[in-house]
Structure 1
Amino acid sequence: MERRIGVTAQQRLIVRCVGAFPGMNAGQLARLLHLDPGTISAALGRLEAKRLLTRRSDAADRRRVTLRLTARGRALDVPTKGTAEEAVEELLGSLTASHAAKAGELLDALAERLDSKNT
């Protein structure tokens, strides 16, 4: 993926999350992705170096740093052919409502199980 679109799968996921939740902070992103804050911090540094996102002090609370995509980041924050997310979107889009509900239940159970293992 990196060779084709210029970012790793992890970086792409971060771009997609920041695009979906502009203004989130690194801690929120780490919790959302179930990743270590140090891992997130390093990835954010690489994405900043590629000028795909910015970290800015929150106007209301200068101690809080928010994440936002740059114009380059927003250009990357779109469904892209040949990615895993495209395959998942195609699969989920083809499910009946009943199958989609069952898949949602399965994913919820899996997420709960993974959360319980991490606490």
Structure 2
Amino acid sequence: MLPKELIADLVKRLSMLKGQIGGIIKMLDEDRDPDQILNQFQAADQGLQKAHYLLLDDVFRKSLALKLVQVMNACPGNCPDAQKIELLKEQFPILQDNELTDKMKEINTISERLTKYNLGNQENYQK
């Protein structure tokens, strides 16, 4: 579920974009100057990109944070990926939007290895 503040912000931005796109259509119908039309296209594109990044930042950053906590709890500090986990923890606050998907893949891979590692340790403990 998305936070209400984010939803309100996205709806506001998309409503403004809807108006901008309506304006572009009107400019096209009125056969306006192509440079003016291009400027409006660029403004609409930037607005859509900003809304997109707000959504990505919220969704991916939260998912990554939750997964990072899960992995940190599964690794008491002596697992094979302890250093990578610590590095991700340090990097987390300063990650750029374009890095989030790669870090999510990385943390998922670490999580899979940890699951196997912890299962192996449980089997050895039971013997």
Question: Rg bigger for which structure?
Answer: 2
TM-score range, shorter chain: under 0.3
Report the structure, 1 or 2, having the larger helix content: 2
Tell which has more relative contact order, 1 or 2 (C-alpha 8 A, sep 6+). 2
TM-score normalised by L of structure 1: 0.25
